[in-house]
Structure 1
Amino acid sequence: MAEDIEEIRRKKLLELQKKLAEQKRAEEEQIRQEMELEAQLQAIMKQILTSEARERLTRVKLVRPELARQVELILVQLYQAGQITERITDEKLKRILAQIDARTRKEFRIKW
């Protein structure tokens, strides 16, 4: 009886360890894929943005990460569609940021 209980515990422990190992592998794979995508994104940003524009986008990312990510994704889509023919300067990036910010900014009103 006690041996059966120990055997059941041992099997449950092995099952849990196996599940944990599978979850860990899946998480590591997901992290690896995210890192690869981020590296690809940064490589494209280096191709299409001037150094000043990249610096600005990095600073924006610190303050408004969701806006920076949105701009990056839009720029990548335009680049992949062949619509970006020359490098984007800091001035152009400022205009792009302003346009996207104006579209996504929510206005709050407080009524009394």
Structure 2
Amino acid sequence: MNDADLEEIRKARLAQLQQQQGTGISGSDAEQQKQQEAEARQTILAQILTPEAADRLGRIRLVKESRATDVENRLIMLGRSGQLRAKVTEEQLKELLGAVAENNKDTEAGGNIVISRRKGGWDDDDLDDL
């Protein structure tokens, strides 16, 4: 490696560190990057959804944006991993919505913890005897 290569590596690493700290991206650059990511998501979704499914997802977004985002993320993940053989229909989207709703129900409840206490066991009055 020569000095020019080392200098390039240093500059790239410095830019990476600045970006991680947030000092390397100005407000307009960050906004532009978010816009590009949103456009890329819409392009991917247009490729993997039928028009009816895309319409339903749009209506879901109006009602509950977080659920629509969860479904979009799952669809994009499935599309990138090659698990989708054809465009997702409205019926398949309904099934996916049910799965996401069930998954959210489990995580929102925090996994129900049931505490059952035995009768005749230890209580606060037992501390007085010590």
**Of the two, which has the highest radius of gyration?**
2
Aligned partner of 1:35 in structure 2 is 35
Q: Which runs of 5 or more residues in structure 2 are unaligned?
A: 1-22, 110-130
Alpha-carbon distance, 1:35 to partner: 0.7
Aligned partner of 2:81 in structure 1 is 81
TM-score, with length taken from structure 1? 0.70
How far apart are the structure 1 equivalents of 2:31 and 2:64?
23
Aligned partner of 1:110 in structure 2 is none
Of stretches 97-106 and 56-65 in structure 1, the one that deviates more from structure 2 is: 97-106
Aligned partner of 2:97 in structure 1 is 97
TM-score, with length taken from structure 2? 0.61
* DSSP 3-state at the match of 2:82: coil
Q: Which runs of 5 or more residues in structure 1 are unaligned?
A: 1-22, 108-112
Aligned partner of 1:71 in structure 2 is 71
Alpha-carbon distance, 1:86 to partner: 0.4
Greater relative CO, 1 or 2 (CA 8 Å, sep 6+):
1
Identity %: 31
> CA RMSD for the aligned pairs?
1.5
